[in-house]
Structure 1
Amino acid sequence: MIFHETTLKDAWLIELQPRGDDRGMFARTFCRDEFAAHGMETNYVQQNMSVSAFKGTLRGMHFQRQPHAEVKVIRCVRGAILDVIVDMRSDSPSYLKHEGFELNAQNRRQLYVPRGFAHGFMTLSDDVEVTYLVSAPYTPTAEGGLRYDDPKLAISWPLDVTTISDKDAAWPFLTETPPAI
């Protein structure tokens, strides 16, 4: 794996290093020792998947409050997404900054999302499947979120939102409720 720093403190874009022959290809998507060498989480308690039928579907911007904050390692295995993360750690030099990454089945990139970040994605194609490792069990009482269209964040989504859950459309704006992670 090749680890690329992002503009957001502690977040990483990970490129796989496929090895191919006449059978196809092989690549590691996780290695405890390589993650540890980069100061990244090495303990994951579950793996989730998300399937979205339509281009323009938006999921997010989600986070878990302490002490249930979670690390995620996101990968798109079918179709394409724009994955966006927001640093919610008030003591971070990249506090309330965001960055977007195209993850798709062809580039096979993964995104390492540290604790204290909000996370969401927009599908760039129909029939999308995303899989992600999570370092802490989901705790409904610790769930929080940001509005995908919050003017304070000014996230530039590449498409109009065609599908979004009622819950994701109703998260408060940052000016209404200060983030608490």
Structure 2
Amino acid sequence: MKITELMVPGALRVVPRQHTDARGAFLEWYRPDLLAGVLGHRIPPMVQGNLSMSARGVVRGIHFAEVPRGQAKYVTCMQGAVLDVVVDLRVGSPAFGRWEAIELDDVERAAVYLPAGLGHGFCALTETATVSYLVSNPYAPEREHSVDAFDPELGIEWPIEEALQSERDRAAPSLAGLLDRGLLPRYEDCLELIR
């Protein structure tokens, strides 16, 4: 397993070693002990698994959960391909507002780990794409928020001209709007979750 740190602090890109033969393939797709070894702190237990199926051009996100509590995520694309985007939404972080995009697909089978406090979204690049998420806290709608994926302040470079989005995501406030309302996670609170 090859694990590299992203430009957004605390986020990792994970590429599993695949063992293939005439029967197919085998791989270890999630190893929290190895992630912890790279980050130098424990990885919260993943308590819920989610699966989303999307058509080409669907943009989901940018989603995040309130901290404390928060929601760390481990994301991989089981079928098709997506452009996965990680955004640092932690107020006070040296990388606040920075984002990074990573292609996840069913060939390389890479995954992304995001600690609590980061925003996450993706765009489906193939006719259909199935994305699996492991998360550290169950979904709690009252604690979940979205940032406008097309906010010019973020400047995310999506590979499509017209996105298919949920009503919630289309109506998501800007980064500045969330900051003004005090809804973004604080960097210090996020660090407390991993100590």
Indicate conservation of the 8 Å contact 2:44/2:72, yes or no.
no
Counterpart of 2:35 in structure 1 is 35
Q: Distance in 2 between matches of 1:40 and 1:108?
A: 24
User: Equivalent residue of 2:33, what SS?
Assistant: helix
Alignment partner of 1:176: what SS?
helix
TM-score by length of 1: 0.94
Corresponding residue of 1:45: 47
Q: What number of residue pairs does the alignment pair up?
A: 180
Please, what is the CA RMSD of the aligned residues? 1.4
Look up the SS of the partner of 2:178 in the other structure: coil
Task: Kindly state the Cα deviation for residue 90 of structure 1 after the two structures are TM-superposed.
Answer: 1.7
Q: Residue type matched to 1:17 in 2?
A: R
The one-letter code matched in structure 2 to 1:180 is L
Distance 1:24 1:177 in 2: 46
Long gaps (5+) in structure 2: 186-195
1:11 aligns with 2:11: yes
Superposed, which structure 2 residues align to 1:5-154 within 5 Å? 5-38=5-38, 39=41, 41-52=43-54, 54-154=55-155
1:167 and 2:168 aligned: yes
Q: Distance in 2 between matches of 1:116 and 1:130?
A: 20
In structure 2, distance between residues paired with 1:69 and 1:175 = 20
Write the distance in 2 (CA, Å) between the matches of 1:129 and 1:168. 19
39-48 or 123-132: bigger deviation: 39-48
* Cα distance per residue 1:11-49 (max 9 Å; x no partner): 000000012233222111112321221235141101100
Structure with bigger helix share is: 2
State TM-score, norm by structure 2. 0.87
User: Which residue identity does 2:99 align to in structure 1?
Assistant: H
> Partner letter of residue 160 of structure 2?
L
How high is the sequence identity, in percent, across the aligned residues? 35
Distance 1:74 1:116, change over 3 A: same
Q: Distance in 2 between matches of 1:170 and 1:40?
A: 35
Residue 175 to residue 34, structure 1, CA distance change in 2 (3 Å): closer
Contact 2:3 2:35 in 1 (8 A): no
Stretches of structure 1 that go unaligned for 5 or more consecutive residues are none
